[in-house]
Structure 1
């Protein structure tokens, strides 16, 4: 009788460990699948940039209008500036055959032109606020990039943190 109870307990223990291992494996596979789906969805959003750009442009304009206290006239000018910029960027992306350096310099020219138009449409105080906001965003991106590089560096060292 004791041997049967012992065998039953052993069998239950083994089966529960197998089930928990299987369950953990399934969870890891689901997490990987979800990550792939999220990356795929982001890629699709990026590919359909034209469909979402009007919404993004409107959100960006509304945000600026609120932060910089824009008048209705200024807001409509800013909307037009962003629309022109987006059209120029899309046209440039649609062109093929340009080398990357030439394309990057063209993107830079478009950004500089947009910046000049924004400077003309905004007051000095508003433009200064916009520049401060841009600098803060650049600083945040730089910090985020540094943290990612630090994290990747520790991951690459291998077992035990040794180089």
Structure 2
């Protein structure tokens, strides 16, 4: 059950922050904790999502060297994905988790296919490399949160 919840969280996290803030290895100085908390609370209420989507798209456009035509198409793709995920979350209470997970996976795969159609092979490979790096970073952060040690039961098994 924990693995399924983790998989769902990872899938939703990857799809929701497709070109997320972890791409932001940009030149801006780090923001204070209070600013981040306020921004995060805004996300939960649905505020600032268009600005954040625009910032992510701008960052992605810069990192992948997108043309203006590609950038507008990517913006539309991310906007559609965000609307679909929002609709899915609003139905969350009415469906079972496995059905929601499958729907989120379908949305992610659809978005991925649309991006493949818009990006060159080189750009798509760069995007995939960034996704894998973000996944690796998320895994290492979770490992650190657990105290940097493997969880084991009383018999020494993982």
Q: TM-score range by the shorter chain?
A: 0.5 to 0.7
Q: 1:85 aligns with which of 81, 84, 88?
A: 81
Equivalent residue number for residue 111 of structure 2:
114
Which structure's relative contact order is higher, taking Cα pairs within 8 Å and 6+ residues apart? 2
Rate the CA distance shift 1:103–1:77 in 2: closer, same or farther, 3 A: same
Rg larger in structure = 1
Rate the CA distance shift 1:70–1:93 in 2: closer, same or farther, 3 A: same
Gaps of 5+ in 1: 1-34, 155-163
Rate the CA distance shift 1:132–1:153 in 2: closer, same or farther, 3 A: closer
Equivalent residue number for residue 62 of structure 1:
58
Larger helix fraction of residues: 1
Shift of 1:45: 2.5
Aligned-residue Cα RMSD (Å) equals: 2.6
1:67-90 per-position Cα deviation (integer Å, ceiling 9, x unaligned): 000000000000000000000011
- TM normalised by structure 1 equals 0.65
The separation in 1 between residues aligned to 2:87 and 2:142, in whole angstroms, is: 30
Equivalenced residue count is 118
Gaps of 5+ in 2: 1-32, 152-158
Matches within 5 A, 1:92-111: 92-95=88-91, 96-111=93-108
The separation in 1 between residues aligned to 2:83 and 2:35, in whole angstroms, is: 28
Is residue 43–residue 49 contact of structure 2 (8 Å, CA) maintained in 1?
no
Matches within 5 A, 1:1-163: 41=38, 44-49=41-46, 51-95=47-91, 96-151=93-148
Shift of 1:150: 2.3
